Structure 1
Amino acid sequence: MKSIYFHEDDYCQIEILPVRNYNYCKQEIEKINDFSEKHQVADGIGWTDMYIRNESPITLDVLKIPIEKLSASLKGVVSKFDSVYTGYSSYREVCKSTFAYGDTDDVVVFFDFDKEQNFVKNIWMTLDIRNEAQIDSAKQILKALSGICKLIFVDWGWGFLSELDDIAEIENYLNKREEVFKKI
């Protein structure tokens, strides 16, 4: 049985949102960067305070993307995990309303859903890129997602924002992630 785990802090840190959030996300990234600069400790390792961002004004669930439509777009691109777990430290719990797709634990797309309404609530990713094959896998996943509707890609931790169908810009971002993760 193929299962995947994500740390609770990674939930929606690299996320897919409706395109109407583009300007909001751009402004929020600027606020985060300004806050980070103002609160960085003198030696550059850590911060004196934490910025808590608000939920985006237009959530993904307003698009009412059917679970089946999202699953069908990923079928044949990457494999589905049988179960998804989250938690922290050694604590783990199963995510009953979450699916995940990926061929490795390093490049995964997750989505949670409303069981009663049968539509997607959030889409987020793990992108621990270490080689060209993982870049290709990430691009295939993002291309599949871009075919669903007009969406944006936001990496809050890296301050990166792009329309999901701008594969050239996203590829540059993925290459930068590869440079960093190869060193870890």
Structure 2
Amino acid sequence: MKLLDFFRIFKRKTFSKAEAERNTYLPFYWDDDYCQIEIVPAENSESIVERMTEIKIPADQSREGLGFTEIFEVGQMSITTFSEEIRTDALSQLLTDYKFEKAKSINYVGDKIANCETVSSKAFGFPNFTIFIETEEEFVKHIWLAINAPDSRAEISREQFKLIKGVLYSLGEEYEMVLADWNSLQLIDLRDRNQIDKYLNSYWK
């Protein structure tokens, strides 16, 4: 299971909040966010649409506030991100080229700090938008996003908003990826600027 894999990652190496206070960018991670908004190879598009169609009615019936009362298993992608052999250093360079800050630490569930140098998960972004990547050896295993609520729009500058759109489009063009949002049951083709604009504007109008 993806969640179990992630729990093991963070249990290996953690340190106190005081050791991370010097970091200007400290992304916050909740268990429920893991791969809920994931970026995966475009070859999975058909199966993603089928799965979203299957769970739409029960998901809508169990929706409560910003979450759900039931758990729906997404399952493993038929074409995994890891199988694409995306090098971690190449993806990291792409993100930093778009001025995404590379986090030194991740605030895990509010009470533990994970050192990004000693765990296999990395984070890049801005205070209200983070791209997490999980690595295995020199390759990327999973990519997912954490996006803050719409009422935080004031904390995203126009320049940052432009960079976010740019980096998502580059992930689509360079790596042929799509975005699967399992919270809103949306599939976004990251090779389509219009789809990206519409999706992001649903968060930050």
The normalised TM-score by structure 1 is 0.81
Q: Is the 8 A contact 2:38 2:143 kept in 1?
A: yes
Q: What letter corresponds to residue 166 of structure 1 in structure 2?
A: D
Query: 2:52 & 2:87 partners in 1: Cα distance?
Result: 29
Is 1:152 equivalent to 2:174 in the alignment? no
- 8 Å Cα contact 1:80/1:99 also seen in 2: no
Identity of aligned residues (%): 25
Gaps of 5+ in 2: 1-22
1:82 corresponds to = 103
1:125 pairs with one of 145, 163, 177: 145
8 Å contact kept, 1:15–1:155: yes
The yes-or-no answer on 1:112 pairing with 2:134 is: yes
Q: 1:51 to 1:167 in 2, by over 3 A?
A: same
Shift of 1:161: 0.4
Matched, 1:61 2:87: no
The question of whether the paired residues in 2 share the 8 Å contact of 1:152 and 1:161 is answered with: yes
CA RMSD of aligned residues (A): 2.5
2:15 maps to none
Between stretches 167-176 and 82-91, larger displacement belongs to: 82-91
| Alignment coverage as a number of residue pairs | 174
> Conserved in 1, the CA contact under 8 Å of 2:124 and 2:132?
yes
Distance 1:79 1:46 in 2: 28
- The residue that corresponds to 2:39 in the other structure is 16
Q: CA deviation at 1:63?
A: 0.1
User: 1:90–1:66: structure 2 CA closer, same or farther, 3 Å change rule?
Assistant: same
Q: Which runs of 5+ in 1 are unaligned?
A: 180-184
SS in 1 for 2:145: strand
Aligned partner (choices 175, 186, 197) of residue 171 of structure 1: 197
Question: Does structure 2 retain, via aligned residues, the 8 Å contact 1:107–1:137?
Answer: no
Offset of residue 37 of structure 1: 3.6
Distance change (3 Å), C-alpha of 1:86 and 1:46: closer
Query: Is 1:140 the equivalent of 2:181?
Result: no
- 1:99 counterpart SS class: strand
Output one character per residue of 1:54-83: Cα deviation in whole Å (capped at 9) or x when no partner: 122221000000112111212221233332
Q: 1: CA distance between counterparts of 2:108 and 2:135?
A: 18
> What SS class does the counterpart of residue 120 from structure 1 fall into?
strand
TM-score by length of 2: 0.74
Q: Identify which of 23, 26, 29 aligns with 2:52.
A: 29
CA 1:15–1:39 in 2, change beyond 3 Å: closer, same or farther? Answer: closer
Structure 1 residue 89, shift from structure 2 partner: 5.1
**Matches of 1:151 and 1:40, distance apart in 2:** 28
Structure-2 change in CA distance of 1:114 and 1:30 (3 Å): same
Which structure is higher in helix share?
Answer: 2
